[in-house]
Amino acid sequence: MQACEIPKGDMLPNPVYVLLDKTGLDFGRAQDAARDLAKKLYWEPMLLSWFDKNAGKHSPQDVTCCTEDKPGWVEYARSRGGNFTVDINYEEYVFIFRGGEEKP
């Protein structure tokens, strides 16, 4: 993983920070928590990109590394309407969604 692929909080669209107990926390549990939160706040949220610091992976993987000093996977999500981020344990896991209509 290249350094420019690692996110910083100020790069993320409208981040909501979530702290989860690290005991038994893995990508699947983090993703479930992010989707649950997104569904509480928006009608039909769509996950556009994600980052897993522990595994050194992000998706989509086939995007240009850096655009204006931001990770390519962050710019990918922004360019497709990504307007909401769930940041778990301070960039340990990051999920960017297109939120759609907000729930009341």
pLDDT confidence band for 61 (50 / 70 / 90): confident
Domain-located, residue 88: yes
> Can you tell me the distance from the alpha carbon of 38 to that of 99, in angstroms, rounded to the nearest whole number?
7
pLDDT at residue 67, as a whole number: 54
| pLDDT one-digit tens code per residue, 21-43 | 999 999 999 999 999 999 999 99
Please state the domain count of the chain.
1
pLDDT at residue 7, as a whole number: 81
E strands within the chain? Answer: 15-18, 46-52, 57-59, 66-67, 70-71, 84-88, 93-98
Range of the domain at 24: 3-98
Domain-located, residue 104: no
If one compares 65 and 72, the residue with the highest pLDDT of the two is 72
| pLDDT one-digit tens code per residue, 70-99 | 888 999 999 999 999 999 999 999 999 999
> Can you tell me the distance from the alpha carbon of 81 to that of 75, in angstroms, rounded to the nearest whole number?
10
CATH of residue 82 = 3.30.1490.340
